[in-house]
Amino acid sequence: MMMKLFMPSSLSLFMSLKMKSLSYSNYTSRRMSHDILPRSPYHVLDPSPWPILMAVGLWGLAMTFICWANGVSCNMLLLGAGIAAMVVYGWTRDLVNEGTFQGFHTKKVQSGLTLGFILFLVSELMLFFSFFWGFFHSALSPSLEMGCCWPPVGIDCLDWSKAPLHNTALLVASSCTVTSSHKYLKAGNFNSAVAMLILTVFLSALFVKNQYGEYAWSSFTIADGVYGSCFFMLTGLHGMHVMGGTSGLLYCLVRMLARHFSSTHHLAYTFAIWYWHFVDIVWLALFFIIYIWGS
């Protein structure tokens, strides 16, 4: 039975492109929803193993982190990361099949997904908000231990007009290219859409490379007081979001080349673009508040 559970995912590269009835009906005695004529615009899902497996994967990831942070050996626990990666693959595969190939993503479902993604972006915004709060808490009333001034005594701030400005230009340009790619897609111009998306990914790779250089050559580290803590926590969290956003855009590139997107229905791409704009706006906030105002 476990074999049957995992068999689809190993053959899915081929199976996912066919309109095969993907059902876990080996485990249920009732009919699957796509066998029954839908009587509402909503998507009633089949049972799915991914939620509980994701929980197991998160368990593994959390245990790995705790063991690593406390110096305990954590080799076995990377299994958790492996399970999580497999679940992300399987869950995404199911989503793509349901939306692109099986037609479950009606307008109502699409509007629901859109609203859900916007709310997710709101939660990400609040996460950054908490770190900005921490920054302002220390920057607006610098304590005695740092010399009652901001930046603290001894910190050589990065010059905002050099690499950070370059990075800002890169990210804003990548937002422009990704928007133009979206417009090309909506107009039906496939080749230009792909080209613009490749350019976007290239620009974001440049950004990541620049940031890595900045990190390697900066005169202060995360351990250098609250300035270093705030700076590297904020830029590091942003960097992780950039890498996540880039991998999302790459994923969309692969799907675009596989002709999954139509000129009217390409929700995953829309979300990836919004995420990219969000990352860009957070960078602008970082740039103006941390780099310029904070130096």
Partner 1 sequence: MGRFDSAFWKFFPCPVLLYGKRLDLMSTNHLDIGSLYMVFGFWSVLAGTSLSSLIRWSLFNPGSKFLDPVCYNAVVTMHALVMIFFFVMPVMIGGFGNWLVPLMLQVPDMQFPRMNAFSFWVLPVSLYFMVVSAFVENGVGTGWTVYPPLSTFSYHGMCMDLAILSLHLAGISSIFSSINFMVTITNMRSVDGHLLALFPWSIKVTSFLLLTTLPVLAGGLTMLLTDRHFNTSFFDPVGGGDPVLFQHLFWFFLDLVYLSRFMFLVYKKKLLMEMWVCSMPCLNIGFLGFIVWGHHMFVAGMDVDTRAYFSAATVIIAVPTGIKVFAWLATMMGSKVSTEAPMLWKLGFIALFTIGGLTGLILSSASVDVTLHDTYFVTGHFHYVLSMGAVFTILAGFTHWSPLFSRVMMHRQKMKSHFIAMFLGVNVAFLPHHFLGLAGMPRRVVDYPDQFWFWNKVSTFGSHLSTASLLLFVFLVWEAFMSHRPVVSVRNSSSSPEWSVAVNLPKHAALESAKMSGGSI
**Sites for partner 1 among residues 148-177 (CB under 8 A):** 152
Q: Say whether residue 210 binds partner 1 (CB under 8 A).
A: no
- To partner 1, the closest distance from the beta carbon of 164 in angstroms equals 21
8 in contact with partner 1 (CB under 8 A): no
Do 211 and 239 contact (CB within 8 A), yes or no? yes
Does 73 bind partner 1 (CB under 8 A)? Our answer is no
Output 173-179 pairs: Cβ under 8 A, ≥24 positions apart: 173/203, 174/199, 174/200, 174/203, 174/204, 174/207, 174/276, 174/280, 175/276, 175/277, 175/280, 177/203, 178/249, 178/273, 178/276, 179/273
56 binds partner 1 per the rule CB under 8 A: yes
Residues 170-209 within binding reach of partner 1 (CB under 8 A):
none
Is 258 one of the binding residues for partner 1 (CB under 8 A)? no
With respect to partner 1, which residue has the nearer C-beta, 21 or 161? 21
Q: Rule CB under 8 A: choose which of 7, 11, 44, 88 binds partner 1.
A: 44
Structure-block tokens of residue 109:
């479902």
Alpha helical stretches, state H, the chain: 2-15, 50-69, 78-96, 107-139, 163-187, 190-217, 225-257, 267-286
Residue 256 beta carbon to partner 1: minimum distance, rounded to whole angstroms: 25
Interface with partner 1 includes 59 (CB under 8 A)? yes
Q: Which is nearer to partner 1, 80 or 245 (CB)?
A: 80
Contact flag: residue 54 with partner 1 (CB under 8 A): yes
Residue 142 contacts partner 1 per CB under 8 A: yes
With CB under 8 A as the contact rule, the residue among 6, 19, 78, 143 that binds partner 1 is 143
Considering beta carbons, is residue 30 or 259 the nearer one to partner 1? 30
Q: How far is the CB of 140 from partner 1 (least distance, A)?
A: 11
Q: Residues with Cβ < 8 Å from 287, sequence gap 6 or more?
A: 160, 164, 165, 167, 168
DSSP of 196-234: HHHHHHHHHHHHHHHHHHHHHH-S--TTSHHHHHHHHHH
